[in-house]
Amino acid sequence: MADTYRTGETKGEDAEGRNEAVLCAEPSPTAENTPKPTLVAMDPKATKLGEMRSEPNKITAFSKEFLAMKDADVLPAAVDMIYKKALGEPMRCAMYSDLCKVQVDNEMREHGTSTFRNGLLARCQRTFEEDGSDPTIKMLQDKMDAFEDPEDKALVQKVIDLFEKKSKARYLANILFIGELFRHGLIAPSIVMWCLVRLLRRDEDEVGMVIQ
């Protein structure tokens, strides 16, 4: 009987200890006591740029809100973003030129000049004067000349062909974008004439590619 009593006493002590352990344990995470992430103050410029990257095709939202910002740090980024989008999506060049027209008109009404337009035209001119060239192509050609194995040369040539195709596509998209900007009166006729003369002086193959 004594053994039985001691055994029962031991069990009671164990149960009591378990109860104490439960009472002393930290509460499990719940919706109330789970640490909540602190909100970090976001730079409004970075926020707007992020919005435009995520939804670049919502033209009305950005023409009235984002591009209305005249901050010198924001406009160059906006020019760069829209320009790259226009060249990367040539089928939407007309839409991006519409967006540019809205921004330029807003600036002209308020300031009589357009920093956005000047920056955009500078990008178009720089790409046009490059004639579809890419420094990477020249570097690859030099490396290919240093190879002796025909298979190595053929492999590098394939890479060069890809870069040339991409560079020419970008050049043609730039021409298309220039035409869309001209449609809105954002480029002077004299500049377009200069572009046409320069194109006509190119090799016949390149002229044929532009016409297509």
Q: What is the DSSP letter of 57?
A: T
88 in a domain, yes or no?
yes
144 in a domain, yes or no?
no
Residues 151, 157: Cα–Cα separation, whole Å: 10
183 in a domain, yes or no?
yes
Give the number of residues written for the chain.
212
pLDDT band at residue 31 using 50, 70 and 90 as cut-offs: very low
Q: Is residue 203 left, alpha or beta, with left meaning phi > 0 and alpha meaning psi from -120 to 50?
A: beta
Q: Are 176 and 93 in contact (CB under 8 A)?
A: yes
Q: What is the DSSP letter of 164?
A: H
80 in a domain, yes or no?
yes
Across the chain, mean pLDDT equals 74
Total tally of structural domains belonging to the chain: 1
The pLDDT tens digits for 39-70 are: 444 566 666 566 555 555 554 444 445 555 55
pLDDT higher than threshold 50 for residue 94: yes
Residues 52, 180: Cα–Cα separation, whole Å: 21
140 in a domain, yes or no?
no
Average the pLDDT over 4-32 and give the result. 47
pLDDT at 6: 46
46 in a domain, yes or no?
no
> Which residue range is the domain that position 118 belongs to?
57-63+70-131+170-209
The pLDDT tens digits for 176-196 are: 999 999 999 999 999 999 988
Residues 199, 206: Cα–Cα separation, whole Å: 8
pLDDT at 30: 52
Count other Cβ atoms within 10 Å, centred on residue 132: 19
38 in a domain, yes or no?
no
Residues 10, 7: Cα–Cα separation, whole Å: 5
- The pTM assigned to this predicted structure is 0.64
Q: What do you get for the CA distance between the two ends of the chain, in Å?
A: 106
Q: Are 147 and 153 in contact (CB under 8 A)?
A: yes
| % of the chain beyond a pLDDT of 90 | 23
Average the pLDDT over 146-164 and give the result. 85
